Amino acid sequence: MKRNKKTKCSTLIIALLIAGALPSSAQSWTLEQCISQAMEHNHDIRSARASLKESESALRELSWSLIPQIGGEIGHDFNWERLSPYKLKGTQSTNASIGGSITLFNGLRGYFSIREAGYSLKQATSSLEGVSDAVTINVIRGYLHMVLARELHSIAKYNCESIIRQMEKCRKMVLAGLRPLSSLMELEAQVAQEQYTITASAAEIENSRIALMQLLNLPYDSQFNIEIPAIDTLPPENLPEISAYSIADAHPATRAARAAMEADKAAVRVAASALSPIITLSAGYGTYYNNASTKKFNEQFKEHWTPFVGFTLKLPITGSIATAHRIKRAKSALSRSSITLEKTRRKLADEIELAVAECHSCRSRCIAAEKSRKASEELLRMNEFKLEVGEISATDYIISKNLCLKATSEHVQAYFQYLFQRMIVEHYLGR
């Protein structure tokens, strides 16, 4: 895939995401597939989703508690009256009713309780978004880490193969008496070192694979691998100017903190409502039968149902001290959540500013590393020719080879660091 130097980072990100449109084996996962798997199966996301459902249920429960409470009642009592020291007279009574009650006033406790639950639901919703964002970033980091590990492994293998070729050429020259044996031994030692590097880089691939599988909540025995997208190593253009505080204000973490503060405001009003009188209206329809009555049971239950209505006024006389402490505790929680909101907003703004600064820095390092890589590659080509004609020693060749390997690895790492930082900034921007 060829692109010019003006290619934007969004194009690179799209290349990573749409790689799934290409034919792939069952064991190869694209970045888009990894993110989709994490959104469904990651433990943190599943926990946040369960908290959201809990908040939804709590809000529905409070909403239903404000409607009139309607129910029926039926009872049967046995009573005994002592007529003499040795004689008791028993009576029975039966009552039945259907009715309901509704709280007319309680200091707006129900309203503010629902308001508190509503903001708690908003907090849970924003928290789920925040957790999803964090998991997405971690998946991107893990995916790119695995891509980088595989790229470094390929570089190590290529480097080892090139040294092996030089070693075989040197072996023939030693046998022909054109080079000293020490040159061959130096190259053999370098091959052994490169083989160690290959083993270490292969272990890093496996470590990054396991870490990514943990994020995706995949079993360790699954045949998991990732698809390597075709991307350039040219750094895209610099980022546009952004307002860190504006982005921080709209971030899910800030919205969750703001909703938590509003919920605590409502909680203060809920606590204060305990000082208000409670007025309750009840009404219904019922009947009462006693076997001492002259009426028969059937007549009473068929013909003598009567309506009833009543008001209840409850005044808080005791418990005001405890209520005052509850109000004080609720206000302290509100103060803490206000501080948390400002802290969250400031922390996010700092993180965004840092991500932008790091993105610019990584881009500069990437450009510098690319220049260093090209220069070291040119030097290595010259020294390979000089080694073959005997103008330099194996030591000099190995030094230039190691310099080239170092420059190549640094360039690859610098690019992936830039790409990741760019993705983070793009993610903050909602792109």
**Tens digits of per-residue pLDDT, 193-204?**
889 989 999 999
Sorted by sequence, the CB contacts under 8 Å of residue 343 that are 6+ apart come out as none
The parts of the chain modelled with pLDDT lower than 50 are 1-26
Give the per-residue pLDDT at 392.
82
Compute the 3-state secondary structure of the chain and give helix, strand, coil in percent, each to the nearest 5.
70, 15, 20
Q: Which token pair is 344? A: 């969250």
In whole angstroms, give the CA distance from residue 428 to residue 431: 8
Q: Are 250 and 259 in contact (CB under 8 A)?
A: no
pLDDT score for 14: 40
pLDDT value for 321: 82
Instruction: Report the b/e string of 89-126 with b at 16+ CB within 10 A.
Output: eeeeebebbebebebeebbebbebbbbbbbbbbbbbbb
Write out pLDDT tens, residues 73-120. 887 777 766 666 666 666 777 777 787 878 877 778 888 889 999 999
Cβ partners under 8 Å of residue 385, min gap 6? none
Cβ atoms of residues 410 and 372 within 8 Å: yes
Question: What per-residue confidence (pLDDT) applies to 12?
Answer: 43
The residue assigned the tokens 């998946």 is 139
pTM more than 0.75: no
What is the structure's pLDDT at 142?
A: 92
Q: Which domains does the chain have, with CATH numbers?
A: 25-67+106-276+316-428 (1.20.1600.10)
Rounded Cα distance between 75 and 305, Å, is: 15
